[in-house]
Structure 1
Amino acid sequence: MTDYTCIVQTACGAVAGRESDGLRTFRSIAYARAPVGALRFQPPEPVEPWQGVHDACRPGPIAPQSPSRLASVMGDIDAPQSEDCLTLDLCTPATRAGSLKPVVVWLHGGAFSSGAGSLPWYSGEALARRGDVVFVSPNFRLGALGFLCLPGVAEGNMGLLDALAALRWVVANVAAFGGDPGRITLMGQSSGGSMIDALIDTPPARRLFQRAIVQSAPLGRPRQDRNEASAIGERYRSLVDERWRDDLRHAPVDVLLRAQGALAGSFRPPLGGTALPFMPVLPVAVDRGGGASMPGASAGAGAGADADADADADADADADAGAGAGTETGG
């Protein structure tokens, strides 16, 4: 490691990034354990502490996915892919004068099946520089690996729970990067906006952010319930190579992606049902909470939604933030 210029101490270990043109950037910081092996289709596990300094100067792999239907518009995604994708990028102004800065956490779009927060066209450098904010963009699981609902195999919402784990990481660690854990805005586009809509309806998530900006999310689409999602999951399994149908946890990723493509190509939602095979299942069961706080789409859809939590929840968030406070050094 020879090209880093700044080091920040997080709750789990030190990370080394780059400082250039008034910004400090950190790439591919793990916010949860790699969801591989026995952890495939499971909720994210906390990241394990590491020794030494983690090189956060280079982009990491993105979630496994098939070629995007938007490749002709946005360009091909040629980034390496891996199930070990639960990482985030962070960009922050280099100047630290005054109080802690507001934080923006960006959830990318892609129909819950493609994209990544680490792609270059989602760079937060301009927003961090012009808005004087700390910009965080996590990667999360997609497609069947992120949203398969199949009793006995996967409970669904893995990708949504990844986003929740990333938020918890931000609350615990962002102060070390100059961000205010009490001023977090969730911002997401298309399916990323739909994920925010689901998180607003998830009580344990609401204490982790204060505002939300939902961009071009299809909030009028009917929500997917567990019965519908389970039926889609069974249909998906029937399309998996017969050798792996009873062992999806150990099936090669390319086998899972082929079945996902076959399902998408033939998918016809039931009358009044959803238009995508893989998406969040509501209500979301998470930690001690669970259940939706309101039926249907979020109130104020299309506008910034205020997600202030109650006093007790604020105290919990403050405790989380204090637990992860770190220090920063030049490098």
Structure 2
Amino acid sequence: MTSQHTDHVANTPLARPAQGLGPVVEAPCGPVRGVWREVTTAEPKSRFSRSAAFYGVPYAEAPTGIHRFMAPVPRFPWSEELDATQPGASPQQNSMCGTTAVPEAVVPGEDVLNLNVFTPAPGQEDSDLPVLVWIHGGGFETGTPSSPWYDGAAFNRDGVVTVSVSYRLAFNGFGYVEGSNAPVNRGLLDQIMALRWVRDNISSFGGDPDRVTLAGYGAGAASVMSLLTSPLAQGLFSRAVCQSGAPTTMPLELARERADRTADLAGTSADLAGWRELSDEEIDSATAELAEDVPLLGADPVAVVREAITGTTPLPTTFGPVHGDEVLPVEVEQALASGAGAQVPLLTGATSHEAVFLGFLLSGPGGGPSTAELLREAGADEQTVSRVEERFAELAGDDPALLGAVVSHGRCQLPLARSLRARSGAGSSATWVYDFAWRSQRTGFASHWLDLPFVFDCLAEPGAAAAIGDHCPQDLATAMHADWVSFISGQDPSWAPWQPGGTGRVYGATADTVVEEGAPLALAEALLDTRQG
């Protein structure tokens, strides 16, 4: 290995760059040069021992100038060899290091509509390997596709081509812009454009365009749910994975109101010309002020708990997917109930404790009423209180954590259960549900993002080890990663498909178990039934 490779993004504990020139792929988009890596975790029985990484491959024109705040425009094919050995520019231009557990590097630049391809078979069009297209999370505000946690080396080792996608965020991606040919949902249109790029180019990288699984985490999972129902995305993927995310959309009128308010704060007109007069920094400043009017939590703990147990939690983001346009004609849940995406098998679930930190924010330094008392004040009967305490028995004695688990359950698992019931009622393809219950040695919780290094089988990545603890359970990562590889490859999971009132798989429930059968959505379904009753 040359010295210049030692600090290269392609150099990870799972993959070491090889000496010499990397592979060149002649794709419909144009010639692309990447980096060869040796997969350090490959064994004699592994399908592949090498992974080629291609970073920052543009799938659309840079969203600047006449393309700013407009629908994405396909990138015109190039003839000169593209150097794809370094990550492309990221829409996230403000470092989130220190505020998010997932490593999120900022790469300066304006050519942000790009993607990364990891493949064990570059240039081998007859390989027909299954493809994972990954949509990163970050609340539609932050995140990048080039986090080391999203490196596709382990999936490559096991015969899966991996693509991670960059898309416009925050106001650039989702704010209402009067006069644009895409007033809202530009971020979703970016993702759809990337899927079209995959359809047209992935065979040149060894992938099968007819075996594409669209997967995402958090906001990425909400994006997957949205695209599952979008008429513009039909036929672009054959399977879907949603991790720790539920449908999150706002009506067109609310999007317009928030844009008007942002324009007032920025001192500009709420139309295409007005927005183009402002720099991204000026828009970011105005949206930061707007965010103060859209708090993550309300001030009244009883009201927050009531929202959590009734499924009426307000939108958790300032900007995000909007229903009422050609991308999302109706709410996702309504579309699922009408059969949208019915032909696509779905694997979905969440971590047990998700945004558990919310409970500490609500409780404050001086504490307050117990979670049981808040539940009763919010209208819960004794059976509901008992169900909550039973579901989160491992948090007994830590009341702020229990409160946080209840609140985040109402923002993730409950709307997920409601959506899956709608999907089931439409006679859709099978759905498999899981719960990630293993608790970090650092925090004691199975919180949001914790399952990512297990799915990507990258526990050795320094950031993952620092967040998880000193003794990472490789057997759990091996099992979870294998389940994802199997599903992406077109096989049905080894546990029963979910039906209302049904069961699913639980990962790492105790120190002695890797997987077991459980009922990940039992509490959510009970709350839905109580409300309907």
Match of 1:116? 144
Match of 1:237? 263
* Aligned with 1:277 (options 318, 329, 333): 318
Asked if the contact 2:31/2:80 (under 8 Å) is kept, the reply is yes
Asked if the contact 1:85/1:140 (under 8 Å) is kept, the reply is yes
Distance 1:71 1:41, change over 3 A: same
Distance 1:278 1:37, change over 3 A: same
Give the AA of the match of 2:262.
Y
> Distance between the aligned counterparts of 1:229 and 1:307, measured in 2?
32
Q: Quote the offset at 1:41 in angstroms.
A: 0.7
Give the AA of the match of 1:17.
G
Distance 1:4 1:225, change over 3 A: farther
Asked if the contact 1:189/1:215 (under 8 Å) is kept, the reply is yes
Asked if the contact 1:37/1:250 (under 8 Å) is kept, the reply is no
Summarize the alignment of residues 204-283 of structure 1 with structure 2, pairs less than 5 Å apart. 204-219=232-247, 223-241=249-267, 247-268=274-295, 273-283=314-324
Give the AA of the match of 2:293.
S
Q: Quote the offset at 1:241 in angstroms.
A: 4.7
Asked if the contact 1:104/1:186 (under 8 Å) is kept, the reply is yes
Match of 2:479? none
Summarize the alignment of residues 171-186 of structure 1 with structure 2, pairs less than 5 Å apart. 171-186=199-214
Summarize the alignment of residues 52-201 of structure 1 with structure 2, pairs less than 5 Å apart. 52-68=80-96, 71=99, 73-75=101-103, 77-94=104-121, 99-129=127-157, 131-153=158-180, 155-201=183-229
Q: Paired residues, what number?
A: 300
Q: Quote the offset at 1:277 in angstroms.
A: 1.3
Deviations 1:81-110 (Å, cap 9, x if unpaired)? 333200000001148597410000000000
> Which deviates further from its counterpart, 192-201 or 299-308?
299-308
> Distance between the aligned counterparts of 1:301 and 1:176, measured in 2?
28
Q: Does 1:29 align with 2:67?
A: no
Give the AA of the match of 1:115.
G
> Distance between the aligned counterparts of 1:204 and 1:231, measured in 2?
26
Deviations 1:234-281 (Å, cap 9, x if unpaired)? 111112155998621132121111112222233259986422111011
Identity of aligned residues (%): 33
> Distance between the aligned counterparts of 2:315 and 2:252, measured in 1?
12
Distance 1:70 1:195, change over 3 A: farther
Q: Does 1:40 align with 2:68?
A: yes
Q: Does 1:8 align with 2:25?
A: yes
Q: What is the RMSD of the two structures over their aligned residues, measured on CA atoms?
A: 3.0
Q: Quote the offset at 1:70 in angstroms.
A: 6.3
Asked if the contact 2:263/2:269 (under 8 Å) is kept, the reply is no
> Distance between the aligned counterparts of 1:50 and 1:97, measured in 2?
20
Give the AA of the match of 2:34.
G
Give the AA of the match of 1:55.
D
Q: Which has the higher contact order (CA 8 A, sep 6+)?
A: 1
Asked if the contact 1:211/1:307 (under 8 Å) is kept, the reply is no
> Distance between the aligned counterparts of 1:207 and 1:120, measured in 2?
30
Asked if the contact 2:126/2:206 (under 8 Å) is kept, the reply is no
Asked if the contact 2:22/2:34 (under 8 Å) is kept, the reply is yes
Match of 1:302? 348
TM-score normalised by structure 1 residue count: 0.81
Asked if the contact 1:104/1:136 (under 8 Å) is kept, the reply is yes
Distance 1:72 1:14, change over 3 A: closer
TM-score normalised by structure 2 residue count: 0.52
Give the AA of the match of 2:62.
A
Deviations 1:45-66 (Å, cap 9, x if unpaired)? 0101222100011111100444
Asked if the contact 2:29/2:201 (under 8 Å) is kept, the reply is no
Deviations 1:13-72 (Å, cap 9, x if unpaired)? 100111121111100000000010111110000101222100011111100444438625
Distance 1:65 1:18, change over 3 A: closer
Structure holding more helix per residue: 2
> Distance between the aligned counterparts of 2:334 and 2:218, measured in 1?
17
Give the AA of the match of 1:105.
V
Give the AA of the match of 2:329.
G
